[in-house]
């Protein structure tokens, strides 16, 4: 019995050790990012590097706001992500309500179209969508980052899952009281699916905030770029021969990722619930 | 109209008509935004991409029909073949490294024996929510030949510094490193969700039958996780075939296209060179590739199910 306990204790310690080592490897790039953002240019180019900076220099952060339109990029990203999120919440919950609680001709086929649409990878329409958006005069305009993405199928699917579980009797009762369908949606359904909306909001905000390919394709003017595009430009847009601004790029990376990570720690379970809706159900 | 109730209400004629009209229109109104946006911005462009892939069109003048010309050119386009090869290597690495690692991580994070569970979960999930551009910029400095942390670690154990991103042989390893670092946490979320749906009494029954930890893993956990494993392998394959951000920021596809991905090549041909027809053919090939690989995986899992 005593040896068995010893063996299981040994197993427990090794498990924790392995998880800790993996965790440190996972955390290391974040620590490196944070530490590099506080280093002076001289210290960044020193070898061997150290993980703890000599001093907490804020030069990189200052340079970010004086040398680049960083505040504008931040504002652009925030605006676009919020706009897309609010639209997605509205349109997806409305359509989710339509699919969950109404009966209508062609519902099955329409739902199949909805599911099938998730099969189209965005990359295949990159070129034609770019051509279309150019014809509309929407390049260099944030509208091209918002309008096409206001009602994604996956969000409708998610909201339908949540709304289906609301008892029909509640809706019947509201209808008997003379409430219109939209009023039922707004005053009855919405308050009951707040967890679902939270999940959808987090997924949408993150996806939009971190999106790179599409904004890179449609935005050219420097002051209207989103954060990822602007940040990539900081290093890739450097003329040959001059030293790339690694310090400011690390400061930008900190400002784009750390607020998100801090918020994420508190809302993790909603995000995970959203990701796994498809995995477990299928 | 609640789905469980009959479609025609038992009221007077006038009310029937007004209720009828309302019931006919509202669901369509509610779901219409999706279909309007889908047809305008996704389905229409998909058909247009297919059409374009048979045309020669460089944004000026009219498209000119050239049959399968674009596809034939792709077969002999060395950069495209290189991009295809690179992308398949990224995919294979994701499947063979990320998936098993993610399963192990999920088992560890689900274990009752783990201390500080919530803390470690947050740590492993942090890369998932971080901007790929921020991550790539960070790895760009980590991998740097002169002052990168990785070479400092090599130097500490007496090894020569490596030009990770500037060398044809190491650049793909470097990019796979970023993929593994970023995707393992995400993938483990799916496995974790799957693990939590396995009924506890299955394990108890197995224990009563004298099964040890290893038996229970192979005979309970793995079979129970099969649907999740299929889902994960499809998601990981599709995601890795679409890789763009990491090689774009880390290397721009270089050196000499050694790390370029299909989407990167599509982007540079279509948006950089404005060769819309050719780029659309690349997109179509990517779509077909994703479709075929998803079907293959579905087939593999289905045939195993039939054997069992």
Closest listed residue to residue A110, CA positions, set A120, A123, A99: A99
Q: Does B274 touch chain A (CB under 8 A)?
A: no
Distance from CA of B169 to the nearest CA of A (A): 22
pLDDT at A55: 84
Token readout for A248 is 């400011």
**Three-state SS sequence of chain B:** CCCCCCCCCCCCHHHHHHHHHHHHHHHHHHHHHHHHHHHHHHHHHHHHHHHHCCEECCCCCCCEECCCHHHHHHHHCHHHHHHHHHHHHHHHHHHHHHHHHHHHHHHHHHCCCCCCHHHHHHHHHHHHHCCHHHHHHHHHHHCCCCCCHHHHHHHHCCCCCCCCCCCHHHHHHHHHHHHHHHHHHHHHHHHHHHHHCCCHHHHHHHHHCCCCHHHHHHHHHHHHHHHHHHHHHHHHHHHHHCCCHHHHHHCCCCCCCCCCCHHHHHHHHHHHCCCHHHHHHHHHHHHHHHHHHHHHHHHHHHHHHHHC
Question: Is B193–A272 a contact, with Cβ atoms under 8 angstroms apart?
Answer: yes
The Cα B107–Cα B224 span in angstroms is 13
B5 pLDDT band, cuts 50/70/90, is very low
Closest listed residue to residue B91, CA positions, set B264, B287, B262, B267: B262
pLDDT at B19: 39
Report pTM. 0.88
Question: Residue ranges of the domains in chain B?
Answer: 13-52, 70-307
Closest listed residue to residue B286, CA positions, set B305, B261, B257, B253: B261
The Cα B300–Cα B298 span in angstroms is 6
Query: What is B70-307's CATH topology?
Result: MetI-like fold (1.10.3720)
Question: Is B124–A26 a contact, with Cβ atoms under 8 angstroms apart?
Answer: yes
Q: Does A12 touch chain B (CB under 8 A)?
A: yes
The stretch A72-97 carries a mean pLDDT of 96
**Per-residue pLDDT at A224 exceeds 50:** yes
The B residues from 96 to 125 touching A (CB cutoff 8 Å) are 105, 108-109, 111, 113-115, 120-125
Q: Does A240 touch chain B (CB under 8 A)?
A: no
A4 pLDDT band, cuts 50/70/90, is low
pLDDT at A240: 66
Enumerate the residues of chain B whose CB falls inside 8 A of the CB of residue A22: 105, 124
Tens of pLDDT, residue by residue over A116-173, are 888 888 888 899 999 999 989 999 999 999 999 999 999 999 999 999 999 999 999 9
The B residues from 223 to 262 touching A (CB cutoff 8 Å) are 227-228, 231-232, 238, 242, 244-245, 248-249, 252
pLDDT greater at residue A242 or residue B279: B279
Tens of pLDDT, residue by residue over B156-183, are 898 888 899 988 989 999 999 999 999 9
Question: Is A127–B263 a contact, with Cβ atoms under 8 angstroms apart?
Answer: no
The stretch A213-235 carries a mean pLDDT of 93
The answer to whether B275 and B265 are in contact (CB under 8 A) is: no
B4 pLDDT band, cuts 50/70/90, is very low
The A residues from 45 to 74 touching B (CB cutoff 8 Å) are 45-49, 51
For chain A, how many residues are written? 282
């Amino acid at each position: 019995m005593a040896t068995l306990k010893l063996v299981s204790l040994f197993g427990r310690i090794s498990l924790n050790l392995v998880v800790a080592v993996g965790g440190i490897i996972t955390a290391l790039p974040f620590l490196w990012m944070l530490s590099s953002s506080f280093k002076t240019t001289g210290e960044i180019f020193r070898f061997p590097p150290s993980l703890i900076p000599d001093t907490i220099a804020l030069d990189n952060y200052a340079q970010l706001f004086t040398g680049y339109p960083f505040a504008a990029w931040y504002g652009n990203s925030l605006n676009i992500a919020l706009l897309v999120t609010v639209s997605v919440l509205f349109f997806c919950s409305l359509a989710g309500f339509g699919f969950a609680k109404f009966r209508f001709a062609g519902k099955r086929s329409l739902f199949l179209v909805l599911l099938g649409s998730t099969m189209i990878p965005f990359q295949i329409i990159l070129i034609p969508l770019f051509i279309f958006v150019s014809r509309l005069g929407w390049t260099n305009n944030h509208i091209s980052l918002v309008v096409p993405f206001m009602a994604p199928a996956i969000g409708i699917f998610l909201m339908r899952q949540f709304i289906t579980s609301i008892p029909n009797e509640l809706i019947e009762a509201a209808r008997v009281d003379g409430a219109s369908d939209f009023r039922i949606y707004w005053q009855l359904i919405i308050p009951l699916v707040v967890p679902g909306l939270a999940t959808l909001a987090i997924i949408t905000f993150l996806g939009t905030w971190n999106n790179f390919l599409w904004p890179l394709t449609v935005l050219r003017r420097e002051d209207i770029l989103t954060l990822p595009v602007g940040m990539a430009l900081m290093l890739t847009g450097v003329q040959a021969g001059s030293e790339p601004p690694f310090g400011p790029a690390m400061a930008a990376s900190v400002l784009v990722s750390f607020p998100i990570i801090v918020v994420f720690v508190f809302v993790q379970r909603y995000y995970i619930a959203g990701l796994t809706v498809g995995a477990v159900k299928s | 109209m609640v789905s469980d109730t009959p479609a025609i209400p038992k009221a007077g004629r006038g009310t029937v008509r007004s209720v009828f009209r309302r019931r006919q229109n509202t669901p369509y109104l509610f779901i219409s935004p999706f279909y309007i946006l889908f047809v305008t911005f996704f389905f229409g462009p998909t058909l247009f991409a297919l059409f374009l892939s048979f045309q020669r069109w460089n944004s000026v003048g009219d498209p000119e029909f050239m049959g399968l010309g674009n596809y034939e050119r792709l077969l002999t386009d060395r950069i495209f073949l290189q991009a295809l090869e690179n992308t398949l290597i990224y995919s294979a690495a994701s499947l063979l490294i990320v998936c098993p690692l993610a399963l192990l991580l999920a088992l560890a994070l689900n274990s009752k024996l783990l201390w500080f569970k919530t803390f470690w979960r947050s740590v492993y999930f942090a890369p998932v929510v971080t901007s790929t551009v921020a991550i790539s910029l960070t790895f760009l400095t980590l991998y740097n030949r002169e002052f990168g942390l990785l070479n400092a670690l090599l130097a500490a154990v007496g090894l020569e510094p490596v030009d990770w991103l500037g060398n044809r042989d190491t650049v793909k390893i470097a990019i796979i490193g970023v993929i593994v670092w970023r995707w393992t946490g995400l993938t483990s979320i799916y496995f974790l969700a799957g693990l939590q749906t396995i009924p506890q009494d299955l394990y108890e029954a197995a224990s009563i039958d004298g099964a040890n930890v290893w038996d229970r893993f192979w005979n309970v956990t793995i079979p129970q996780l099969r649907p999740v494993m299929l889902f994960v392998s499809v998601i990981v394959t599709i995601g890795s075939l679409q890789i763009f951000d990491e090689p774009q920021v880390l290397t721009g596809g270089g050196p000499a296209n050694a790390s370029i991905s299909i989407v990167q090549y599509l982007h540079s041909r279509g948006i950089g060179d404005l060769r819309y027809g050719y780029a659309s053919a690349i997109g179509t090939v990517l779509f077909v590739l994703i479709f075929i690989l998803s079907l293959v995986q579905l087939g593999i899992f289905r045939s195993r199910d039939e054997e069992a």
